[in-house]
Amino acid sequence: MPQSLSQLYVHLIFSTKHREPMLLSPVREDLHAYLAAVLNNQDSPALKVGGMSDHVHALFRLSKNLALAKIVEEVKTGSSKWVKTQGRGLANFYWQSGYGAFSVSAADVEEVLEYIAQQESHHRVVSFQEEFQKLLDAHGIAFDERYVWD
């Protein structure tokens, strides 16, 4: 086949270092727009970016030319530098070292978009740790509790 074609959707989740609630309004909303722009610049169009004060969710279409790890590195590095410029209280901002990335079928894209949009109400009853563990379990990803949280 002379042409490379793909349509792979990824639900990416990562947290602030030690899940510190540093992403407050209006920085959070601006950060989501910044993250979407970084993804778009990585040839990985963002469908939705959202989250809470201690973590981010992004649904995007994975570039056919770049590895997921490279895209995540660009997203986290660039956004961490950007957040640090948004005020004195954010000068010591860091993301956790890891991330979770989950494949999403085209049939489930709308459901994930809604899930990301409803983070505020979702986290009134479910903690970030519970949410992340449920996603790991649902996708059959084995993990060692000692190394998931930092």
Strands (E), 16-135: 46-52, 55-61, 100-104
Sheet holding 9-15, edge to edge: 46-52, 55-61, 9-15, 100-104
**Does residue 48 form part of some domain?**
yes
Q: Where does 5-144 show beta strands of DSSP type E?
A: 9-15, 46-52, 55-61, 100-104
57 located within any domain: yes
Asked, for residue 46, whether it belongs to a domain, the answer is yes
Instruction: Give the number of other Cβ atoms within 10 Å of residue 125's Cβ.
Output: 7
Q: Does residue 2 lie within any of the structural domains? A: no
State the total domains in the chain: 1
Per-residue pLDDT of the chain (150 residues; tens, 9 = 90+): 688 889 999 999 999 999 999 999 999 999 999 999 999 999 999 999 999 999 999 999 999 999 999 999 999 999 999 999 999 899 999 999 999 999 999 999 999 999 999 999 989 999 888 999 999 999 999 988 877 776
pLDDT of residue 148: 77
pLDDT for 143 equals 84
* pTM for this predicted structure: 0.94
Residue 72 in any domain: the answer is yes
Q: Is residue 132 part of a domain?
A: yes
User: In this predicted structure, what is the pLDDT of residue 1?
Assistant: 62
Identify whether 3 is part of a domain.
no
Residue-range definition of the domain harbouring residue 36: 9-148
**Residue 147's pLDDT is what?**
77
Asked if residue 91 belongs to a domain, the reply is: yes
**In whole angstroms, what is the distance from residue 74 CA to residue 95 CA?**
12
| Residue 70 token pair | 């490279």
